[in-house]
Amino acid sequence: MPVLAQKSGPIGTSATRGADLPASRADAARFLAQASFGPTTADIDALMAQGYTAWVDRQFTLPATSHRAWWEARDAAIRLATPTSGAGQDQIWESFWRQAAIGEDQLRQRVAYALSQIFVISALDGNVGNQPRAMAAWLDMLGSHAFGNYRVLLEDVARHPLMGFYLSHLRNQKADPVNGRIPDQNFARESMQLFSIGVLRLNPDGTPVLVNGVPVETYGPADVAGLSQVFTGFSYACPSTNNNCFFNGSTGGSNNISDPDRFFKPMQAYPQFHSTEAKSFLGATIPAQAVADPLASLKTGLDTLAAHPNVGPFISQQLIQRLVTSNPTPSYVRDVAAVFNNNGSGQRGDLRAVVRAILLHPQAQATGNSVGKVREPVLRLSAYLRAFPHTSDTGQWRVGNTDSATASLGQTPLRAPSVFNFYRPGYVAPGSQSALAGLVAPEMQLLNESSASGWVNFMRDNLNSGVGQFNGTVDNVVLNRRDLQRNWAAEMALATQPAALTAAVADKLLNGRASTTLTTEISTAIGRITIPALNAGGTNQAAIDTAKFNRVKSALLLVLASPEFLAMR
């Protein structure tokens, strides 16, 4: 077993309450940036009192919040008001942002978000996007496994109809030599490349295995072909296993029964469409079957993938990247992968133990030029909403689609451009200082001239008008403003003191890690915004308030646009 941080290290693992208290509020905030959608004052207070281990342990006990339950409630409300309408993708984003901004089960939702960027489906595919209720159920499935077992997660991913749509193994049929049909190989390939073992053989510390100085591939075309046969004969959950159910999700005939939950219930086996020939892949062979047994084949296939020695370092490294740092050291990966391989009780793939090992490892709080990660757009907005709590006029958290890189985040959860996510784990930003240092910077794959200016413009608009969609309705009154609003009274009270205002804003977003250079520049800049003196009749109070708010907005925007905020260090 790896040695995690001891009581004398940056983060302890003692079960004793308070034995591993953060050394400072800045350290607490940094940890919460990794383990949640952003630190809040209340969460920092709690972590300072409880210690790291107690905070994590409490998060493990919190019940999962259901995105599908939210979607279904909103669908019912929308249909009650407009019977011909109904909920759509927007209601998924409502639930996502509500949980990100104010949800209590922060660690579960944060890990589920990380898993959604490893096991990718995308609403950009119409077959997926047209099933928003099932998309909400997909998020719930990831949340239910965030602290569960990897092998169970892998099976639920493989049998989820939305993944079946996205990677085309729903209704996948056995070979037909007469017409030249072969099983679809899409999911077989990506289940290895992206969801389990990767393309190169790995050492336990995540570094590539070299033979004569050359990396060794983990699989080849024959493995893809063999594994693709495993994923034949699966389709909709249906009251029957007849051909009509396989192709259409309904029984056919005069009754034509279908399962209303078929788009998120696990795909069921249809033996008549499953390959019975011998299946060989990754050194395993499933003998030819006299009677087709899709579930037995699936078990062997997924057991083989989950037991592969690459899985520990491959999945561990990506989870470290999503939560803590883009460039974990080999020792960090090795330690976490060892926990993946054995949680201390002989269990492999215990994601709760893996998450604990990632967050409580000494290197999670290490400092230096090569640690940390670029804060992706979704996590920038969530950090802002948690640092400066907003309320939703409608109670619905109507943030909406944020795809646009020029006018919004350039990133919407579950709307990645491909199965390879919004960015690749090994992305190297061309011409960057990180590239010169030999570092990867995955989130920088989202960065270009449009997205850089788009973030600033988006947040300037949010600061001016609030966040989200216009025309929320409260008590049947339409509000012609954005749905998420904040009371800026505390910041307005500091507006006449540029240094104090800058310090307050920077402390909320940077939590004691703002450089003197940054705070001096911001304080000087906002001090140049003139606040008029109150005239004798007090008739210029509105102009005074406008100038004060301009100082508040400017201070915030300058921090939000700073490299010190855009990088989690």
User: 321-352: per-residue pLDDT in tens?
Assistant: 999 999 999 999 999 999 999 999 999 999 99
In 119-248, which ranges are continuous DSSP H helix?
126-129, 132-145, 150-159, 161-166, 186-193, 221-230, 243-248
- Which of 59, 250, 233, 264 lies closest to 142 in space, CA to CA? 264
Q: How far is CA 262 from CA 161, 233, 234, 239, in A?
A: 8, 16, 12, 10
Q: What is the pLDDT of residues 101-116, one digit of tens each?
A: 999 999 999 999 999 9
Name the DSSP class of 268: E
549 is written with which tokens? 């708010």
**pLDDT given for residue 285 in this prediction:** 98
**pLDDT given for residue 474 in this prediction:** 62
**pLDDT given for residue 538 in this prediction:** 84
Q: What is the pLDDT of residues 482-528, one digit of tens each?
A: 999 999 999 999 999 999 999 999 999 999 899 999 999 999 999 99
Asked if 343 and 147 touch (Cβ cutoff 8 Å), the reply is: no
Q: What is the pLDDT of residues 395-433, one digit of tens each?
A: 999 999 999 999 999 999 999 999 999 999 999 999 999
**pLDDT given for residue 61 in this prediction:** 97
Q: State the Cα–Cα distance between residues 32 and 47, nearest whole angstrom.
A: 9
**pLDDT given for residue 17 in this prediction:** 44
In 428-515, which ranges are continuous DSSP H helix?
433-436, 449-465, 489-492, 498-510
Q: State the Cα–Cα distance between residues 410 and 423, nearest whole angstrom.
A: 12
Give the H or E element holding residue 284.
Answer: strand 284-286
- Under-50 pLDDT residues of the chain: 1-17
Sign of the torsion angle spanned by Cα atoms 185, 191, 194, 200: negative
Q: What is the pLDDT of residues 37-59, one digit of tens each?
A: 999 999 999 999 999 999 999 99
- Which of 45, 55, 49 lies closest to 13 in space, CA to CA? 55
In terms of C-beta distances under 8 Å and separation of at least 24 residues, what long-range contacts does 1-8 make, across chains too? Answer: 1/338, 1/339, 1/342, 1/344, 2/334, 2/335, 2/336, 2/338, 2/339, 2/357, 3/335, 4/335, 4/357, 4/360, 4/361, 4/362, 5/360, 5/361, 5/362
**pLDDT given for residue 478 in this prediction:** 72
Name the DSSP class of 409: -
Q: State the Cα–Cα distance between residues 228 and 209, nearest whole angstrom.
A: 26
Give the H or E element holding residue 214.
Answer: strand 214-215
* 499 contacts: CB under 8 Å, gap ≥ 6: 519, 523
208 is written with which tokens? 């590539």
297 is written with which tokens? 């084949």
Q: State the Cα–Cα distance between residues 521 and 518, nearest whole angstrom.
A: 5
How far from chain centre, in Å, is Cα 116? 5
* 563 contacts: CB under 8 Å, gap ≥ 6: none
Counting beta carbons within 10 angstroms of the beta carbon of residue 517, is it exposed (0 to 12), middle (13 to 18) or buried (19 or more)?
Answer: exposed
How many other β-carbons are positioned within 10 Å of the β-carbon of residue 80? 9
pTM: 0.95
**pLDDT given for residue 2 in this prediction:** 37
Asked if 166 and 119 touch (Cβ cutoff 8 Å), the reply is: no
Asked if 278 and 178 touch (Cβ cutoff 8 Å), the reply is: no
Residue type, 481: R
Q: State the Cα–Cα distance between residues 301 and 162, nearest whole angstrom.
A: 20
- Which of 457, 430, 456, 440 lies closest to 374 in space, CA to CA? 440
